[in-house]
Structure 1
Amino acid sequence: MDPLLRGEQAVLGAVLLDPRQLGNLDWLEARDFYRPAHQALFTALRRLRSDGHPALTAEGSVPLAWLTDTLAQAGQHVRGLTASYPHTLIAACPRPAHAPVYGRMVLEGSIHRTVAEHAARLLAVAQDDAGQSEVQGAVAQADVLAGVLEELAGRWGTQPRAVAPGVLPITAATAEPAAAQLEDEQFLLALLVHQGGAIEEVFDWLRPQDFVSPGHGQLYRCLGALHHRGEVIDPVTVLWEVQRRGLLADGTFTEERLGPVLSDGAAGSAEWLGEQVLRSSLTRAAAGAALQIAAHADDQRLAPGQLIGHALHALGPLDEVRARWLTATSPPAPHRRPDAGEAARVHAALARSPTPSSARSTPTPDRVPPIGPAPNRGRDRAAPHQPSRSLL
């Protein structure tokens, strides 16, 4: 027994029994029906209503022409409808007055089905983009899915608001990372270790979770901690930071795994390699969001409002990676030169702030010892390590 099939049959049977029920179903569309025959029948009923069929104003019992004309109109667009099928629909409707309730069941099934279809498209496009080292398709399809969720929320009568699920759905296992991805990440890390200042090219937008290998992500976190504290980055300091974080003791890293990064020099563009890692992270985030949304759509226990909220929440990590991708690939903003009016206002403001007379009359010695601690103008990279709090 298929509840959705019974619901579609019941709403069509209700309209065949009482044509005036169409006025209570203006929010329902033919595409909400799963079966093509039901879509054709609902379209035919709407067409007869717009043409002013006499059954809509008939008193007493519904004329037989309402059934035969509906069948003839729908038969022009779909095959397989028999003369007995309208009677099957009528028999499936317990109460014609319950047509809005049956219609809501049809709409609920349509929302689940629509979300699942668009999630499958996002997954396919993300996988295709990953194979071609592209992101445009996944980004565009994610925008389409977000727009569909907003439109469905409006039809259901709820606000499109992201809501975290109580328990994340179980999704299918993702594919193993390609060897080329691991090699690119390893080469980037080696470059950041051996090329002074290279981490500044990627530090603002590349994150540890962007690496497909968790171990590579942990090593990048160590590099980021050293950079954040203003300390030098070289094989010795990186190895020390790795052991400070307990990554040698817990087996996260071994000599074999760290050797290629710490011992081999590297030359290249950290920014370009970082963009490759971030591009891969974006397509993985799109695929992960698609799998989560598909799992939510398959859960028939979720009401449409819950499904839409959970789907929007699943798109959140993808939006965060997209924002960083935009930062990484956008050209730097051009330096704006102040116009003449702005320069005049600055000059006037300076003129209104005269130097105190005491400062003008007091001679300034060549060297004045500072009062209190000296301002921090950057740590000498040759200075020994001073303990500081890391935010990473």
Structure 2
Amino acid sequence: MDALFKGEQAVLGAILLDPAQLDTLSWLTPGDFYRPAHQALFAAMRTLQSSEHPALATQGNVPLSWVTDTVTEAGRHVRGLTSPYAHTLIAACPRPQNAPVYGRMVLEGSIHRTVTEHAVRLEHVARIDAEQQQVEGVLHHADVLTGVLGDLSRRWGTDPRPVPGPSTGPVVASPPVRPEQTEDERFLLAVLVSQPAAMGEVYDWLRPDDFADAGHGQLYRCLGALHHRGEPIDEVTALWEVQRRGLLADGTLSQVQLDSLLGGPGAGSAEWLGDRVIRSSVVRTTTQAAISIKALAEDETLAPGRLIGQALHALGPLDEVRARWRTANGHPSRALEKTRPAVRPDPAARMNAALSRSAARQPTPQPASHAAPVAPPSTATVPRSRASPSPA
């Protein structure tokens, strides 16, 4: 027998036996119940409570009218509900005074179902937006899920704060990569290599992790390193940086793949292509978060507080990539402005500074240890040009 089903029966049976238990379950709503019949019965009890049913003021034995009126009121909203089932609920309650514990079981099941439903909806919207190259829909539903997690956290009595899960958690498969995503990435890398000023258009908000193809992301990291050091970017310097990082040796990039990326046409706008890449990153990050949250919600062993905290933690990467997407579209966030790198000096100035640091230094004389102090030279040994003038 399902424990959640037994918990719903027990809490309803406790209220039928003791209507005063409704006051101890003020935090429970009809929507927290899974079965429609149980939702209707609990809603009927709330309706009778608001209308001040005489059974609520009765001391001692509860009148039979409380049971019959509850079933009658609930029967207006759901079909197939009979009085014998109310007695089944009464028999399913071991102790009416344990109603708050039974209600907490019902709320726990409701939290898992609610998180699952919103995660599934978020994943569905993300897959649609991936086909249309849109991000507004997934960001809206991600904000809705964040708000729902906050409300559920307050209902459960905990603070809505992100909590990382265990390192041995379930392995979640990454969403599939669409061919047009890698095509945009190839065009963008070709533009960055062939156009000297193109890297400056995307450097502040595009990151290697935004690329769906890992090899493309590593090549972009190499180009970003050249740009950060103020060095020129072309086919030769990019190939040299790739070899220095061992990307060909470890198989991250193949020579054929590198030749196609570095020898591309290089036509187009880096800013426009970069915007398409980061849009795909937003949708891909949202899909990954939705899949992870759905897997967490389906784990019945996970307590509601941990479920909510780990779900908020799974949404964390989306906040970071969304802030950079807003910067790319002219709406920078304050958090990203604080982390923006400082303005880099002119390449010639950087080269001169490096040469000055490489110049040979004159050895500094070291004082001899345990030696007597040297007396200052007399004025007789000082040249005339440096001697003090004699007094007149």
Is the shorter-chain TM-score for this pair beyond 0.5, marking a shared fold?
yes
**Alignment partner, residue 152 of structure 1:** 152
Q: How many angstroms apart in 1 are the aligned matches of 2:96 and 2:213? A: 59
Cα distance per residue 1:225-268 (max 9 Å; x no partner): 00000000000000000000011111222221011121223111
Q: What are the within-5 Å matches in structure 2 for residues 12-91 of structure 1?
A: 12-91=12-91
What amino acid maps onto 2:329 in structure 1? T
**Alignment partner, residue 258 of structure 1:** 258
**Alignment partner, residue 98 of structure 2:** 98
TM superposition score normalised by structure 2: 0.85
- Provide structure 2 residue ranges, at least 5 long, that are not aligned to the other structure: 334-343, 356-392
Gap change, CA 1:383 and 1:262, over 3 Å in 2? farther
**Alignment partner, residue 143 of structure 2:** 143
**Alignment partner, residue 291 of structure 1:** 291
Q: How many angstroms apart in 1 are the aligned matches of 2:185 and 2:229? A: 23
- Provide structure 1 residue ranges, at least 5 long, that are not aligned to the other structure: 334-375, 388-392
**Alignment partner, residue 162 of structure 1:** 162
Residue 324 of structure 2 contacts residue 332 of structure 2 at CA under 8 Å; is this kept in 1?
no
Identity of aligned pairs, percent?
A: 62
Aligned residues: 345
Q: How many angstroms apart in 2 are the aligned matches of 1:381 and 1:222? A: 22
**Alignment partner, residue 117 of structure 1:** 117
Q: Which moved more, 1:59-68 or 1:163-172?
A: 163-172
Gap change, CA 1:168 and 1:319, over 3 Å in 2? farther
Q: How many angstroms apart in 2 are the aligned matches of 1:377 and 1:47? A: 72
Residue 171 of structure 1 contacts residue 291 of structure 1 at CA under 8 Å; is this kept in 2?
no
Displacement of 1:380: 3.0
Residue 169 of structure 1 contacts residue 295 of structure 1 at CA under 8 Å; is this kept in 2?
no
Residue 230 of structure 1 contacts residue 381 of structure 1 at CA under 8 Å; is this kept in 2?
no
Instruction: Say whether residues 1:378 and 2:332 are aligned partners.
Output: no
Please report the RMSD computed on the Cα atoms of aligned residues, expressed in angstroms: 2.0
Gap change, CA 1:186 and 1:168, over 3 Å in 2? farther
TM superposition score normalised by structure 1: 0.85
**Alignment partner, residue 204 of structure 2:** 204
**Alignment partner, residue 187 of structure 1:** 187
Cα distance per residue 1:139-178 (max 9 Å; x no partner): 0000000000111111111100110011364355344322
Q: How many angstroms apart in 2 are the aligned matches of 1:383 and 1:24? A: 74
Cα distance per residue 1:194-234 (max 9 Å; x no partner): 11110000000000000000000000000000000000000
Q: How many angstroms apart in 1 are the aligned matches of 2:232 and 2:12? A: 74
Residue 163 of structure 1 contacts residue 312 of structure 1 at CA under 8 Å; is this kept in 2?
yes
Gap change, CA 1:256 and 1:128, over 3 Å in 2? same
**Alignment partner, residue 248 of structure 1:** 248
Q: How many angstroms apart in 2 are the aligned matches of 1:230 and 1:262? A: 20
Residue 123 of structure 1 contacts residue 291 of structure 1 at CA under 8 Å; is this kept in 2?
yes
